[in-house]
Amino acid sequence: MLQPGDPLRLLRVPRSFTMVRGVGLVYIKPHQTNPLHIHPNIAEYLHVIEGSCEHRVGDRWVTVKAGDTLRIPLGVKHNARTKDEPCRAVIVYDTGKRRMEVVAEQTHGRGRYER
């Protein structure tokens, strides 16, 4: 089991298995978030193994908890945030050559919007 401060562990997947090319374990500390971003060349799958987090997919926030799996389609903006508890998850990409592009959040008028 991963502990806080453990490094990201990448698992090897045989090249003959074409659907999955990148697998990792991630730990998100309480009250943390990552930047809003897209992956222009891959879909991402997140399976929570412990704790919970809120994940924005497009313009919608969803809560995922241990046992839940979330699919983020190619090119869809997303990010995660935790509240009072940490989150451990397995992340799977359909290519080993993941690209990530940060998407700027902008304030416009009285509300927020992302482009």
In a domain, 99, yes or no: no
Among the listed residues 99, 115, 105, 94, the one whose alpha carbon sits nearest the alpha carbon of residue 33? 105
Q: Using a pLDDT cut of 90, give the percent of the chain over it.
A: 57
For residues 33 and 55, the answer to whether their CB atoms sit within 8 Å is no
- Model's pTM, two decimal places? 0.71
- 55 domain residue, yes or no: yes
Q: Tokens 């009285």 identify what position?
A: 110
47 belongs to a structural domain: yes
Q: pLDDT, tens digit, for every residue of 47-88?
A: 999 999 999 999 999 999 999 999 999 999 999 999 999 999
Pair 87, 16: CB distance under 8 Å: no
CATH label of the domain that carries residue 47: 2.60.120.10
Is residue 53 assigned to a domain? Answer: yes
Structurally, the chain folds into a number of domains equal to: 1
* Structural domain span for residue 35: 10-94
In a domain, 106, yes or no: no
Q: Assess if residue 111 is contained within a domain.
A: no
Report if residue 16 sits inside a domain. yes
Q: Are 79 and 35 in contact (CB under 8 A)?
A: yes
Q: Is residue 104 part of a domain?
A: no
Give the residue from 25, 29, 23 showing the smallest Cα distance to 44. 23
Which residues neighbour 89 within 8 Å (Cβ) at sequence distance 6 or greater? 25, 26, 28, 46, 47, 48, 49, 53
